[in-house]
Amino acid sequence: AASPRTDIRDCSVNPPYLPPTATNTTARLAALRDAMRAHSTHAYIVPSTDAHMSEYIAERDSRLGWLTGFTGSAGTVVVTQDRAALWTDSRYWTQAERQLDCNWELQRTSQCGQGGGWILESVPAGGNVSLDPFLFSIDTWNSYSQALQGSGRALLPMETNLVDQVWGDQRPPPASSEIYGLPAEFTGSSWQEKVAGIRQQMAEHTRRPTAVLLSGLEETACDWGSGATGLFNLRGDDIPYNPVFYSYTLLTSTNISLFVDEARLTAEARQSLRADCPGPLCVELRNYSQARAHLQRYAQGNVTVWLGTEYTTYGLYGVVPQEKLLEDSYSPVMLAKAVKNNKEQELLRAAHVRDAVAVIQYLLWLEKMVPQGQVDEFLGARHIDALRRAQQHSHGPSFESISASGLNAALAHYSKRTLSVDEMYLSDTGGQYLDGTTDITRTMHWGTPTPLQKEAYTRVLMGNIDLSRLVFPPNTAGRNVESFARRALWDVGLNYGHGTGHGIGNFLSVHEWPVGFQSNNVPLTAGMFTSIEPGYYRDGEFGIRIEDIALVVEAQTKEPFLTFEVVSLVPYDRNLIDVSLLSQEQVQGAGSGPSRWPAPAPPPPPRWARWPSARSSPCCSLSCRPDPDSSPAEAASSHHRSLPCFAFFFFYFHPCN
Amino acid sequence: AASPRTDIRDCSVNPPYLPPTATNTTARLAALRDAMRAHSTHAYIVPSTDAHMSEYIAERDSRLGWLTGFTGSAGTVVVTQDRAALWTDSRYWTQAERQLDCNWELQRTSQCGQGGGWILESVPAGGNVSLDPFLFSIDTWNSYSQALQGSGRALLPMETNLVDQVWGDQRPPPASSEIYGLPAEFTGSSWQEKVAGIRQQMAEHTRRPTAVLLSGLEETACDWGSGATGLFNLRGDDIPYNPVFYSYTLLTSTNISLFVDEARLTAEARQSLRADCPGPLCVELRNYSQARAHLQRYAQGNVTVWLGTEYTTYGLYGVVPQEKLLEDSYSPVMLAKAVKNNKEQELLRAAHVRDAVAVIQYLLWLEKMVPQGQVDEFLGARHIDALRRAQQHSHGPSFESISASGLNAALAHYSKRTLSVDEMYLSDTGGQYLDGTTDITRTMHWGTPTPLQKEAYTRVLMGNIDLSRLVFPPNTAGRNVESFARRALWDVGLNYGHGTGHGIGNFLSVHEWPVGFQSNNVPLTAGMFTSIEPGYYRDGEFGIRIEDIALVVEAQTKEPFLTFEVVSLVPYDRNLIDVSLLSQEQVQGAGSGPSRWPAPAPPPPPRWARWPSARSSPCCSLSCRPDPDSSPAEAASSHHRSLPCFAFFFFYFHPCN
């Protein structure tokens, strides 16, 4: 249960003390409880995802947000007649305290919460526990089922969604915007090549599946998926910040069925899908709402359907007889998408070059403006978003920019606190570009940080360096190495409560599974991109996170081991680095890899620290090539990897005066 | 499939080339195939464990060993009419090549092999795959079941064990030796206290189980268990090196049934179990063979049976209806046993002091004898066993001593190679004492090691130090930190193919689960003991392993973090350490912990390196206190932690001359 000691809310007084950001949910909860009674349901479970296990969702699917007022992206809610609780992880604890009213217990979890024990406590034996089976993955269904097994409480799927029923006509309408094709210059391979690749994997599998079912649009913090958006090189705008659209795909050895609102496809997109009709590369367009019925019919034949248990909903899964299922954690599409080919790698690198220019422009602007007291968190976020939009191929931010000053950085989202030279500031932002998706976090201080802030920042940076520099064998799981990002903090009894990294897409999801460092991620393979983002948060004081994107590459060892090449190109704040804490390896670079940390700074030390991230790029040896005639942005975007250092120098170092 | 390039066997020539250590299995296999035909079985699976998921097993249970000739402790066999294969992990690859004949394919796995894919290849659709359900854990059964699901091959439990049938009267008889009670001075708590603790956990569990079923005698590399041996403070000699006896226990809230051969109990043991009869602390003694029938009867009532899926056999599990099961990975007994109380910790420490004296005596003896060419691997193993037996409270070795010179150290077991100053030598040995079980590996070289040997040894040592010194948060899983033991090797593209450590008992199993660094181990908690044993193996050349036992203790951080205290007290071979590879932290000690590595060696460097392992023991600051009047063994065993350094000095350093 929520600890009253640290909760911002005080529900023990009458009337309760609530922050102004809390939502009054009494009427909504009462209406839901009426609906539950009408359906003889004693507990109703509401997830934060949609029917495709998406992490970022459309407003229309924000059932949990509407019901609770909590807008964080990861959470689970259980409502009974006399209790209501929200489970969420440490990224969102403070936010939840600010947004929930006293109807809600806040259950602080270290991972995605389930609430099995709480349900047993709160629902009498003989009671019914219900949920919408189209909003829960098979694995999540199974975990509830296991928790209730033998307890005398029944877990019942209910096709009527009770929240939707209560929400009524206040609920936003479905998406209607255009679904468009991605130009060939921005795709790593054609959709026909991708389909052929999946069919080959089907043919080579010992179980000889006859079809693959694709459900996910993108990924969530605890689940993942993939779908038509990636497979067919199409994009839509159904979900803010994520160029995806609602669809299911059933890909058989001879047919392709795409379940989508056909009217939304551009003429070109439609043409691309239908060019080879009829034939095995002809995409049959079917109504989105027909996916389940079609799958049910298909499953009556002599077929085997391959699907991923973590991102397929229990609602779809249930229509295929058990003996016709080939269940895997990962579908071949997911695995194929996770490993970027050379063209995709180059596209992602190029996007990071332009993105670095925008972020560095932002850092420069902050350095000038913050001392004047003119910037608040909201204006800061708006400014970085605008700088990104000015970059070539930009499609806006890849998620809602996090711009958090002082104690707000322990809260995952920003308000309107004024940035100050007396506080730390955390900026976690990213961009969508036609050639790639970016995500980067920098933490800074323009005045005099406290010794604790400086030590914590340095230890977070040490973790980032230690993991980025790690050499490891092929097929190593991320979870087996993510502790290297924590050790420098652990040494002094510090830690952070979130994951250490996630995959990232090519103009797709900023959180792209199954790559990353969590327990359900696949082993690291050359060609995968992941974020590396240790942090440290001190409630009520400050927050630190240092996030870069890194490509898994072959290491320069005799055996074919792997390591990371960091593709983020934005420097760190020297003002927060206590060099005396760094090991010689961290300062100088050592072992088999190239040096990735500059030699001890020449006096006077520059404002921003950086170690050359690219083993292939000599540019970051901090040589000086100012060219005042071309704008840095132009130069960077045309020369890709060779010019960002120039840009840094132009803006920050001016070492050639 | 076995790679002909590296296999010692050459099955491509006629007659095949086989090492003299191979066993001719043609007749046994033919008889088994006859039996399979008679039972309409197309594939028969044989595990290396017994009905209690034991790792070390009695000769009578060595079905896999008898059938194949392979005597390694971890493996799985599948036999069809025309193929036969053994799966085993890298510890045993060379050994398997030396013991298998050409009837057998060797399947090299990185973990415990299953062979699901091989079965699909080798058994036609419509075929039957059989196994003895009393020799497989529920989880292993489920993994085969999943592999065959929907493939048209049936997985059938068969109560007749076909290997036993073929083995016939050549099979050794059941154990008949005495089962005896452990004196109170060597137990951490009485069996009545342990029973009360389990009953309390039953009462506090939300599912309110009415009984706990205990199946395991000890633990295996891929499974684990616990049982009556630990619970009742009894010991037996049914399995070599492991003071356990065959039994099952059904512990209910009001009754205790112990299934055992009653005639084997000593009068005292019987008295201890029956002292409180009748009553809830009365142990009812029942026939070992009645366990299944009794459980079946019990399960007809209104009951809930709590069991651990990883170590209960599918044969027993199947008699309890699904809705009356409370399945967990870990039973309360396992968890209680894993955390040693203060008395148990002191007992284990004391055993390690006497054990160190024996091992150091052995190292001294080797240093004197090896240059004379008088020691072979077998004699070496015999000598260390004898030195251990001379120690107080000794019950012999805790496993078959591994004594391996030169290329044999890449093979997990020894033969009769003569030890030489020109080769490395690996000694992995342990002792059973009434107060504890020990396990330690040292690798040494008495001449001039090659640069590669020295670097590899140093990197293995760095891994041992890095993991031993790690500070980590409570509830960290071993698998999330075991890579720290590998990183120094990874840096140069090296690795090892086995786990990094395992729990260890108090006069019980040398491999005691669920503690350790593998994926099915429980989170590390203060009071747990684990080995830390990185290694490096170069086939055909040499093998290195450095193994210590460490206790999980609270770290000296502000937050209650954890770290390790190494209780093994035997120095390392300085002859093999390249100090220039070590980081400053590794050499000097740094961070929050105390210094655990001696300052740069004074000239001339002593022969054996050691860093003070015990944060509580000032003895190992390498001060000099020779006392020629008492024997080191006596002194060490009476003064426990304060004197082992003296012992080292007396034997090795003589710095006071």
Asked if A473 lies within 8 A of B492 by C-beta distance, the reply is: no
Contact list in B for residue A491 (CB cut-off 8 A) is 471, 591-592
Beta strands A128-131; A154-157: pairing state: parallel
Asked if A473 lies within 8 A of B480 by C-beta distance, the reply is: no
- In terms of phi and psi (left: phi > 0; alpha: psi -120 to 50; beta: otherwise), the region of B430 is beta
Contact list in A for residue B471 (CB cut-off 8 A) is 490-493
Q: How far is CA B59 from CA A546, A641, B63, in A?
A: 58, 66, 8
A266 contact partners, CB below 8 Å, separation of at least 6: A178, A179, A180, A181
- The percentage of residues in chain B with a pLDDT greater than 90, rounded to a whole number, is 55
Give me the phi and psi of B645, to 5 degrees please: -65, -40
- pLDDT at position A230, please? 67
Q: Omega before A278 cis (within 30°)?
A: yes
Rounded to whole angstroms, the Cα distance separating A215 from A193 reads 20
Beta strands A535-538; A436-437: pairing state: unpaired
A41: enclosing H helix or E strand: none
Rounded to 5°, the CA angle A435-A441-A442 comes to 125
Q: Which residues pair with B89 in a beta bridge?
A: B109
Q: Which residues pair with B239 in a beta bridge?
A: B242
Name the residue with higher pLDDT: A518 or B605: A518
Per-residue model confidence as pLDDT tens digits over B143-166 = 888 888 888 899 999 989 999 999
Rounded to whole angstroms, the Cα distance separating A383 from A495 reads 31
Chain B nearest CA to A580, separation (Å): 12
Asked if A491 lies within 8 A of B592 by C-beta distance, the reply is: yes
Asked if A472 lies within 8 A of B490 by C-beta distance, the reply is: yes
* Model ipTM value: 0.72
Cβ-in-10-Å burial (0-12, 13-18, 19+) of B73 comes to buried
pLDDT at B194 over 90: no
Q: What is the largest CA-CA distance in chain B?
A: 80
Query: Is some CB atom of chain B closer than 8 A to the CB atom of A121?
Result: yes
Per-residue model confidence as pLDDT tens digits over A341-396 = 999 999 999 999 999 999 999 999 999 999 999 899 999 999 999 999 999 999 99
- pLDDT at position B217, please? 63
The stretch B162-187 carries a mean pLDDT of 91
Contact list in A for residue B207 (CB cut-off 8 A) is 150-151
Encoded tokens for A6: 């640290």
B403 contact partners, CB below 8 Å, separation of at least 6: B377, B378, B380, B381, B384, B414, B425, B426, B427, B429
Asked if B483 lies within 8 A of A480 by C-beta distance, the reply is: yes
Among candidates A476, A492, A583 on the partner chain, residue whose Cβ is nearest the Cβ of B585:
A583
Task: Let me know how long chain B is.
Answer: 657
B26-170 topology per CATH: Creatine Amidinohydrolase; Chain A, domain 1 (3.40.350)
pLDDT at A178 over 70: yes
The stretch B228-257 carries a mean pLDDT of 82
Query: Best residue in A205, A491, A518, A554 to probe B by mutation, most B CBs within 10 Å?
Result: A491
pLDDT at A597 over 50: no
Per-residue model confidence as pLDDT tens digits over A397-447 = 998 899 999 998 886 556 789 999 999 999 999 999 999 999 999 999 999
Q: Fold identical between A26-170 and A180-337?
A: yes
Contact B426, B381 (CB under 8 A): no
Highest mean pLDDT among A5-9, A237-241, A325-329, B528-532 belongs to: B528-532
Rounded to 5°, the CA angle A394-A396-A399 comes to 135
- pLDDT at position B607, please? 54
- pLDDT at position A12, please? 87
- pLDDT at position A312, please? 85
What is the CB neighbour count within 10 angstroms for residue A169? 5
- Helical H segments across A69-161, by residue range: 93-99, 116-122, 138-148
Per-residue model confidence as pLDDT tens digits over B74-84 = 899 999 999 99
A438 contact partners, CB below 8 Å, separation of at least 6: A351, A352, A355, A398, A430, A431, A504, A549, A568
Q: Which of A47-56, A563-572, B192-201, B261-270 has the lowest mean pLDDT?
A: A47-56
Rounded to whole angstroms, the Cα distance separating A575 from A578 reads 8
Query: Is some CB atom of chain A closer than 8 A to the CB atom of B149?
Result: yes
A369: enclosing H helix or E strand: helix A342-369
Q: Which amino acid is at B544?
A: I
A342-596+612-649 topology per CATH: Creatine Amidinohydrolase (3.90.230)
Chain A nearest CA to B563, separation (Å): 10
Asked if B591 lies within 8 A of A492 by C-beta distance, the reply is: yes
Q: Does domain A180-337 have CATH number 3.30.70.270?
A: no
Interface contacts (A, B; CB < 8 Å): 102
Asked if B493 lies within 8 A of A561 by C-beta distance, the reply is: yes
A405: enclosing H helix or E strand: strand A402-405
Share the mean pLDDT of chain B. Answer: 83
DSSP designation for B179:
B
Contact A354, A393 (CB under 8 A): yes
B548 contact partners, CB below 8 Å, separation of at least 6: B440, B464, B468, B531, B532, B533, B566, B567, B568, B613
**Cα distance between the two ends of chain B:** 60
Q: Which of A484, A355, A482, A494 is nearest to A427 (CA)?
A: A355
pLDDT at B383 over 70: yes
Contact B496, B537 (CB under 8 A): yes
Provide the residue ranges of all domains of chain A, joining segments of one domain with +. 26-170, 180-337, 342-596+612-649
Beta strands in B329-454 (DSSP E): 394-397, 402-405, 424-429, 431-433, 436-437, 440-445
Contact B122, B80 (CB under 8 A): yes
pLDDT at A300 over 70: yes
Q: What is the DSSP track for B98-167?
A: HH--TT-EEEEESSS---HHHHHHHS-TT-EEEE-GGGSBHHHHHHHHHHHTTTT-EEEE-SS-HHHHHH
**Cα distance between the two ends of chain A:** 60
Contact list in A for residue B591 (CB cut-off 8 A) is 491-492
3-state secondary structure of A436: strand
- The percentage of residues in chain B with a pLDDT greater than 70, rounded to a whole number, is 84
Query: Is some CB atom of chain A closer than 8 A to the CB atom of B452?
Result: no
- pLDDT at position A404, please? 93
Q: Which of B69, B50, B52 is nearest to B60 (CA)?
A: B50
Encoded tokens for B186: 């060597």
Rounded to 5°, the CA angle A540-A541-A545 comes to 110
Per-residue model confidence as pLDDT tens digits over B311-368 = 788 999 999 998 899 988 766 676 777 888 999 999 999 999 999 999 999 999 999 9
Per-residue model confidence as pLDDT tens digits over A134-160 = 999 888 888 888 888 888 899 999 989
Asked if A559 lies within 8 A of B325 by C-beta distance, the reply is: no
Asked if A490 lies within 8 A of B479 by C-beta distance, the reply is: no
